[in-house]
Amino acid sequence: MALREIVTIPDPVLRRKARKVTEFDGDLQKLIDDMVETLRVAPGVGLAAPQVAVSSRVIVVEFGDEEDETVEPKLYAVVNPEIIKPSEEMVNGVEGCLSVPNLVGDVDRHGSIVVKGQNRHGKPMKIKASGWLARIFQHEIDHLEGVLFTDLANQVWRPQEDETFADV
């Protein structure tokens, strides 16, 4: 495993629609392992392949229980993710991004979603997510479409030094 550089705006890879993954080979396995390591060191809760300058439809998400911080965070690696069932309920929340340093914004997201995709070995998978986990998945899947949270935000600002927000 190796740390990869997280690219930041205005890198053009962040604005490209990422390519569908068709080869579940050693290169993909290395990419996923590197992304997990990079995410943990960053630190963040989600990372999309375009954020490490790879235009492929791959995301990793690591997030624990919002209510109980003693619960070990769960790691998701999803290839070719797609939201197939968004809730009608929209929830506003503050987001930051590892590729958009020093800015946060209020973004409306679906309160819950169902994501389908493939695991790192190409097997189909579905994930039901709500709350912050749903927000993280939506944020990362947006990256695969070349969309940044600042494109969707109602308001964007530089946080004060004493304000802390999770970077997705």
What does pLDDT average to in each consecutive run of 10 residues of the chain (168 residues)?
95 98 98 98 96 98 76 93 98 97 97 98 98 98 98 95 64
Cβ(71)–Cβ(116) under 8 Å?
no
Give the active site residue among 23, 62, 66, 140: 140
Query: What local confidence, expressed as pLDDT, does residue 145 receive?
Result: 98
Query: What local confidence, expressed as pLDDT, does residue 161 receive?
Result: 76
Cβ(49)–Cβ(35) under 8 Å?
yes
What Cα–Cα distance (Å) separates residue 79 from each residue in 49, 51, 82? 10, 15, 9
12-157 folds as Peptide Deformylase (3.90.45)
Cβ(143)–Cβ(48) under 8 Å?
yes
Sheet holding 90-97, edge to edge: 90-97, 100-110, 155-157
pTM of the entire structure?
0.93
Query: What local confidence, expressed as pLDDT, does residue 67 receive?
Result: 63
Query: What local confidence, expressed as pLDDT, does residue 119 receive?
Result: 98
Cβ(157)–Cβ(117) under 8 Å?
no
Is residue 163 part of the annotated active site? The answer reads: no
